[in-house]
Amino acid sequence: MHVMSEDLSNLVQPGRVHRQIYTDPAIFDLELERIFGVAWIYVGHESQVKSPGDYFRTFIGKKPVVLVRDAAGDIRVIHNQCAHRGSLVVANDNGNTDEFMCCYHGWTYHLDGRLKAVPLQHGYPENFDPSNPKTAMTQVPRVRSYRGFVFASAAADGPSLEEFLGHMATSLDDMIDRAPDGEIEIAGGVFKHAYDGNWKLYLENLCDAAHPIFTHRSSIDAAQQQSDAVHSDGTGEIAIRQMRQNGAPYSFWESQVGIWTYPNGHSYLGDYHDDAKLVAALKDPVFRDYIAAMEKKKGKAETRRVMEVRRWNSNVYPNLSFMSQFQQLRVVHPVAVDRTVVHTYNFRLKGAPEQMFRNTISFANTVNGTGSLVLTDDLEIYNRIGMGLSSAGAEWIEIGRGYRSDLPDAHGGRRGVNSTSEVYIRNMLDAWLGYMTAPTLSSPASGGGKYPAA
């Protein structure tokens, strides 16, 4: 590794960042170690492993892991590697099992990763101890669930999950609070999309209020010109309304939409939308049954409070983005410095009318679908940034919009004076710098505090 911490701290400067952090394979390797090997990484949702023996295969950074509910009903995250000669043990994406068995020489493991049995054990030296934790599918040291959202940290110590999330936990609350029964579950399949660009570009785009009017121009125009008299089974209606909304003028983004950021790189875009068919708070007849179900379970006052939370994308740095109004969740998987895969999921609100989930699916197809009329242009942008940054053009990337006008936030964060501020990128890069230059790997400095005075 030839990248020094001092070099790294020079790469992020007030209002600008060096393109090298998106293109240098050595920096990518360091990120896997110092960010994905330390931070609380979103792994999965408890509803994916409802019963003992349920498992779900995923990655922390590039490390294969398994999220599993063990025999006692506890959630575990274990490294997906056989302690014998290293084979991947769990090959299916998900399933249910009594034990894990490696198909190379048949070592078996309990659901919590402890070694269960070793064929030909008599052949090993006397000091071979099957109860030694080193002969297990090793557990990731820290695993915590925040109300069903499971995070894991490969660092043995460091800030608690609650400290790490801070005020952003309220966005996760908002996902759950929208369920009349107070419970949500992952349902409706998964999208996997891929692009030839750096993983950081993904979250940097999700709160970008200045791009839709350019990037999504073709779908905005096509949707605005679409006749509503044509047959729709409901799917197209949600999609087309959403695409039209993307065409809101700058004045809308600068007056009705905000961007909030918090320590550790987290952020959310809020107060978006004025289409009554897309925002439950605006009381379109479609939402009547839903609001009634909410009021029945939670009362009028709490229902009103929940409906008035109007956050759009919430990002938990470094690998999670979700959207509570349409129950979407995206997980970013870094593959190489110039290759990223993103998995997107949907939640069902328990106790809500079936139509709510259908809208969730329509919305997912529109904004997260691999063949969507919207996401395909975002993927094009990630690919183009990947290609553009490899040129010998400007060395420094400008992220200064809003720099002089950002304001402190009441919950310890920083917000843009309106949604077009790039404060959320500066905030992510502060966190990035904190992780990358932390003196000890297990205690990253918190980001968000590195703004020099104007």
Partner 1 sequence: MAKKKKRAARLATRSRRPIAARRSTARQPIRQTLDLNACEQFLLHEARLLDDGKFEDWLKLFTPEAWYWVPSEPGQADPFETVSLIYDDRRLLETRVRRLLSPRMYSQEPRSRTSRIVGNLTIEESGKDGYTVRSKFMMIEYRREQQRLFGGTALHRLVQSGGRIMIAWKRVDLVNCDAPLDGITIPF
Residue 62 sits in the site that holds partner 1 (CB under 8 A) = no
- The CA-to-CA distance between both ends of the chain, in Å, stands at 35
**Cβ–Cβ under 8 Å, residues 191 and 369:** yes
CB of 60 to ligand FES, least distance (A): 21
Residue 133 sits in the site that holds partner 1 (CB under 8 A) = no
Contact region with ligand FES (CB under 6 A), list: 12-20, 80-88, 294-302, 304-312: 80-88
Residue 346 sits in the site that holds partner 1 (CB under 8 A) = yes
Residue-wise DSSP of 72-129: TS-EEEEES--TTT------SSEEE-SSEE-TTT--EE-TTS-EEE-TTGGGS-TT--
Q: Which one among 30, 39, 43, 102 touches ligand FES, defined by CB under 6 A?
A: 102
Site track for partner 1 across 361-390, x = CB under 8 A: x--xx--xxxx-x-xxx-xxx-x-------
CA distance 425 to 419: 12
Residue 378 sits in the site that holds Fe ion (CB under 5 A) = yes
Which of 54, 130, 65 has the alpha carbon at shortest distance from 94?
54
Residue 84 sits in the site that holds ligand FES (CB under 6 A) = yes
Q: Which of ligand FES, partner 1, Fe ion, none is residue 254 near (CB under 5 to 8 Å by kind)?
A: none
- Say which residue the tokens 């605005």 belong to: 224
Residue 105 sits in the site that holds ligand FES (CB under 6 A) = yes
CA distance 240 to 223: 5
Which residues 6+ apart lie within 8 Å of 315 measured at CB? 203, 206, 207, 265, 266, 267, 268, 321, 424, 428
For residue 18, CA distances in Å to 216, 265, 397, 429 come to: 27, 18, 6, 11
CA distance 176 to 171: 9
CB of 107 to ligand FES, least distance (A): 4
CA distance 391 to 387: 7
What's the one-letter identity of residue 316? Answer: V
CB of 400 to partner 1, least distance (A): 25
CB of 341 to Fe ion, least distance (A): 18
What's the one-letter identity of residue 370? Answer: T
CB of 206 to partner 1, least distance (A): 16
Which residues 6+ apart lie within 8 Å of 144 measured at CB? 40, 150, 151, 152, 160, 161
Site track for ligand FES across 127-166, x = CB under 6 A: ----------------------------------------
Residue 215 sits in the site that holds partner 1 (CB under 8 A) = yes
Contact region with ligand FES (CB under 6 A), list: 63-71, 97-105, 294-302, 336-344: 97-105
Of the two residues 63 and 114, which places its CB atom closer to partner 1 in the complex? 63
Q: Which one among 82, 223, 257, 278 touches ligand FES, defined by CB under 6 A?
A: 82
CA distance 360 to 166: 27
- The residue ranges that bind Fe ion (CB under 5 A) are 378
- The residue ranges that bind partner 1 (CB under 8 A) are 187-196, 215, 217-219, 221-223, 225-228, 230-237, 239-240, 243, 285, 341, 346, 357-358, 361, 364-365, 368-371, 373, 375-377, 379-381, 383
